[in-house]
Structures are given as C-alpha cells and as structure tokens.
C-alpha cells in the first residue's frame, strides 16, 4: 500500500510538469490566464487518471468493504461505482458478523430477493453474489466491465446460475455463462431450473441454460421435450426450440413412416400444420401405407379447421393409399360427415374406387348413410359400377333392406341384371333376406 502511494505521488508530479508544459505551449494572447490555468489543471487530471488506471486495482480498506457491502445490500449501484472507480478491486469477501452491528435492524431494511439469503454469522459475502442475488442487473453488468471474478458461490454455497435462472434474468445469465460458470443441473430432480423453464414454457430461459449445459458438456438430453410429442400437442415454442438447438429435423419420420405433417394432422393441430406448410413441408407426404396427412383427420371430432386448411391449400383430395383407398372412402367408412362433405364440396372424384373396386357410393350404402348416398349420386356417381367380386350399389341396398334406396338407384339407372361372383342379382339377395317388396320392385324393372 505504501509503495502504491509513492507511485501515485510520482504520477501527480509528472502530471503537474506535463500540465505546466501544456500551459506554456498554449499561452498566448487569445487565452486568459485563468483559462490557461484551467486547461493545465484538466490536462494534469487526465494524465493522473490515465496513469492510475494502468495500476492494478487495490483491495478496499475495511471501511470501504463495509460501505460497499451496505450499498450492495441496498442495491445502490451509483455509490458502489463511486468507490470502485477509485481503482478499487471489486473482488473481496466479508463475513456478515464483521459488517453488521445490529442484525435485526439491518435485516429489516433489506428487501427481497436478497432478503432470502440474509442470515447471521454467514461468510463469503461478495459483491458479485449480492448483485446476482438482489437481481441488480445494472450492478452485475458494471462488475463484469470491471472484470470482477464471477466464479464465486453464495454464503451457503448458492449457485449463481440457479439464482439468475430463478429470477428469469437472461442478461445476468449470459454474463455468468460468458464468465465460465456452468449450470448445475440434476436430471433426477424434477424441479431443476431447466425442467422448470420448459414446464413454464419459458423458452428464452430454457435456451440459454441449455446452451450453457452443452458448452460445458453437461448431458441434459433426458430433460429436453420429445419432438413428436411436442408436435402432437402443438407446442410451437418447443418445436422451434428443438429445431434451432437440438438438431431436430422437420424431414424426419416417426412410427409407420409418419412425417411431422402426419403427426400434426393426426392430432388436429391446425396451426402446426400451417406452420409446417409455411416452412415448406409437403402436404401430400405419404406414410408407409401410402396415406397422406389428410387421411389422418378422418373420423375425428373437432377436425374442421385442420381439414379446411389441408383441402383449401392444395392437398390432393383424390390420392390413393397402398390399397387404393381415397380420403373420401375413408371418411365415409368412418362416418365422418365433416370430411366427407368438405371433399364432396371440393369436387372429389366420386367414382374413384379402391383396388377392390369399392366406390364411395357403395361405402355410403354399406354404412347405411342413404342421405349421403343420394348426395354422391347427385355428384355424378356411376350407379352400375361393379366391384371385383361383382357387387353393385343396388345389391348392397337390397341386402340392407332399404326399399327407398333401391328405388332411388333404379330411378337413377341402376340395373338388376348384374350378378355377383355367387351368381346372384340384387333381387335374388333381397328375396333371400325376406325383402319381398324389394324383390317385386326390382323384378318389375
């Protein structure tokens, strides 16, 4: 300390000499004596400041420590700066008992969040810890500028990263991690701060903690949200996080060859479907069974929004899967009026049969939906198409005993002359089942 005082005195003398030279150089008729004196003083002050700044900072005196401790407890950053800018080091630690005479009074004056850490007889109190614990971002930034040592713990071994995470202070977290601190995360603890960040959908916080863990080779893979589940639940924030940080791929496939678009559509996540489409994901990708996302909406309630987006944005409404089934056939088989009507309104091909020759009209009659069958007929369905086993729509109506459906089919041109593989006509099937009125009507036609 004595040596430092000698150095400062020497610097001041040099500054005075330089100031005098400055005065001599700038004296002239245009500068008053007072102006020249002020200029010389300013030059001397600047020289002193520059030279002092080059010296290593000195440890604070006991009086300065007490003052800095009390100001940090009150989050008085301005007062702290006034001391540290005298080339005083911010790196020191103190004991509570040495700093506080009346602990109850002192504690009553402290506010949260620092109050949670105020206990008698605790040790290792540092400016860095107090700045982080009191959530004083301004002071943390200033201490960082002063090259303070951030690799410290709290009085009871508290983790500074955990404290900043609890405060959701991204700026402070960045400073801590950039100063070499590593997240301390226990994957077995469900309340670790990375898990809590995900649970509260705090993606900015989760992102910076995750990056800090990766940087320090900490395995947190078990804590990361599942990509497929995130899609199924429409968690856009998780989806984006996984894509941007973990290498999750929008082109990857899941069980049965389902794409991300299939998963989103199957779970009726219309907004996610839309976002994937905006990212360039094909609406007509096929799974291992040859089915596109549109197939996966069939038979589900509350599906209208997803269906509308797919159909209105160009999804192939006449695509066939590996068995020749179309979205229309599947929708009818599942008695899905929303999808069926949407497809019919979009002019889906009502004569496109599966690979067994089964048509949408046949499917509607087989499921007993005669209102739909009439609508399909009006849409241009061929009433005399035969499936590979020889079945016609009229045979199916006769088998179900629907006189009105049989009559409508006949009126629309359905013929009773066709036979199935068993050699039976529609009228034969009707009489076998005891529907004599249908038999009589068909035989007359």
CATH number of the structural domain spanning residue 291: 1.25.40.20
Does 411 share its domain with 439? yes
Does 359 share its domain with 441? yes
Cβ atoms of residues 153 and 162 within 8 Å: no
Which residues make beta-bridge pairs with 125? 94
Does 354 share its domain with 445? yes
Structural domain of residue 40, as residue ranges? Answer: 1-55
CA distance 294 to 377: 24
Q: Which of 285, 315, 346 represents a domain boundary (last residue)?
A: 346
Does 342 share its domain with 354? no
CA distance 144 to 179: 9
Decide if 270 is inside a domain: yes
Does 341 share its domain with 364? no
Does 356 share its domain with 296? no
Decide if 163 is inside a domain: no
Token pair of 161 as six digits? 């990263």
Decide if 403 is inside a domain: yes
First to last CA, the chain: 121
Q: What pLDDT score does 14 carry?
A: 53
Measured from the Cβ of residue 11, the count of other Cβ atoms closer than 10 Å reads 18
Does 381 share its domain with 293? no
Decide if 314 is inside a domain: yes
Q: What pLDDT score does 187 carry?
A: 86
Residue with tokens 């030059």: 43
162: left (phi over 0), alpha (psi -120 to 50) or beta: alpha
Decide if 3 is inside a domain: yes
Does 334 share its domain with 405? no
Q: At what angle do helices 170-178 and 137-145 cross, to 10 degrees?
A: 20
Does 379 share its domain with 336? no
Q: What pLDDT score does 43 carry?
A: 61
Q: What pLDDT score does 393 carry?
A: 98
Distances (CA, A) of 354 to 228, 326, 400: 31, 7, 22
Residue with tokens 């797919």: 310
Q: Which of 296, 322, 346 represents a domain boundary (last residue)?
A: 346
| Structural domains in the chain (count) | 3
Prior bond of 390 cis (ω within 30°): no
Token pair of 179 as six digits? 């100063």
Measured from the Cβ of residue 232, the count of other Cβ atoms closer than 10 Å reads 17
Does 252 share its domain with 341? yes
Q: What are phi and psi of 93, to 5 degrees?
A: -130, 150
Decide if 366 is inside a domain: yes
Does 292 share its domain with 371? no
pLDDT 10s digit of each residue in the chain, 445 long?
555 555 555 555 555 555 555 555 555 555 566 766 676 666 656 555 555 555 678 899 999 999 999 999 999 999 999 999 999 999 999 999 999 989 999 999 899 999 999 999 899 999 999 999 999 999 999 999 999 999 999 999 999 999 999 999 999 999 999 999 999 898 888 889 999 999 999 999 999 999 999 999 999 999 999 999 999 999 999 999 999 999 899 999 999 999 999 999 999 999 999 999 999 999 999 999 999 999 999 998 889 999 999 999 999 999 999 999 999 999 999 999 999 999 999 999 999 999 999 999 999 999 999 999 999 999 999 999 999 999 999 999 999 999 999 999 999 999 999 999 999 999 999 999 999 999 999 998 7
Q: What pLDDT score does 50 carry?
A: 56
Q: Which of 346, 361, 378 represents a domain boundary (last residue)?
A: 346
Does 309 share its domain with 380? no
Q: What pLDDT score does 68 carry?
A: 96
Decide if 77 is inside a domain: no
Cβ atoms of residues 72 and 80 within 8 Å: yes
Q: What pLDDT score does 191 carry?
A: 86
Decide if 267 is inside a domain: yes
């Amino acid at each position: 300390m004595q040596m430092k005082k000698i150095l400062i005195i020497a610097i001041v003398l040099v500054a005075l000499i330089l100031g005098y030279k400055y005065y001599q150089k700038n004296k002239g008729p245009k500068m008053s004596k007072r102006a020249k004196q002020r200029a010389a003083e300013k030059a001397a002050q600047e020289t002193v400041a520059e030279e002092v700044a080059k010296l290593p900072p000195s440890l604070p005196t006991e009086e300065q420590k007490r003052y800095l401790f009390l100001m940090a407890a009150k989050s008085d950053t301005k007062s702290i700066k006034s001391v540290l800018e005298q080339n005083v080091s911010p790196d020191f630690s103190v004991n509570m008992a040495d700093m506080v005479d009346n602990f109850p009074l002192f504690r009553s004056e402290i506010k949260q969040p620092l109050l949670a850490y105020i206990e008698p007889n605790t040790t290792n109190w540092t400016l860095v810890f107090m700045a982080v614990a009191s959530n004083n971002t301004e002071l943390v930034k200033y201490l960082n500028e002063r090259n303070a040592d951030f690799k410290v713990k709290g009085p009871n071994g508290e983790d500074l990263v955990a404290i900043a995470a609890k405060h959701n202070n991204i700026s402070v977290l960045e400073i801590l991690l950039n100063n070499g601190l590593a997240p301390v995360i226990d994957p077995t603890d469900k309340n670790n701060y990375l898990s809590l960040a995900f649970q509260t959908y705090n993606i900015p916080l989760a992102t910076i903690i995750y990056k800090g863990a990766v940087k320090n080779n900490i395995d947190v893979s078990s804590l990361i949200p599942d990509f497929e589940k995130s899609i199924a639940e429409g968690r856009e924030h998780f989806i984006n996080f996984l894509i941007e940080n973990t290498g999750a791929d929008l082109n990857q496939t899941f069980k049965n060859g389902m794409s991300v678009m299939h998963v989103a559509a199957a779970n009726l996540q219309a907004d996610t479907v839309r976002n994937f489409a905006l990212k360039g994901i094909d609406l007509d990708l096929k799974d291992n069974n040859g089915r596109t996302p549109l197939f996966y909406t069939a038979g589900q309630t509350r599906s209208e929004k997803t269906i509308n987006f797919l159909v209105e944005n160009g999804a192939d409404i006449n695509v066939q899967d590996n068995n020749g089934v179309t979205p229309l056939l599947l929708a009818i088989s599942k008695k899905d009026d929303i999808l069926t009507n949407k497809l019919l309104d979009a002019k889906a091909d009502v004569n496109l049969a599966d690979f067994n020759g089964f048509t949408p009209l046949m499917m509607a009659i087989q499921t007993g939906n005669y209102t739909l069958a009439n609508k399909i007929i009006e849409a241009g369905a061929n009433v005399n198409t035969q499936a590979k086993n020889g079945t016609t729509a009229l045979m199916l109506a006769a088998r179900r005993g629907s006189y009105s459906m049989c009559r409508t089919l006949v009126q629309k041109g359905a013929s009773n002359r066709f036979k199935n593989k068993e050699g039976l006509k529609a009228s034969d099937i009707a009489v076998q089942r005891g529907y004599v009125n249908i038999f009589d009507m068909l035989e007359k036609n």
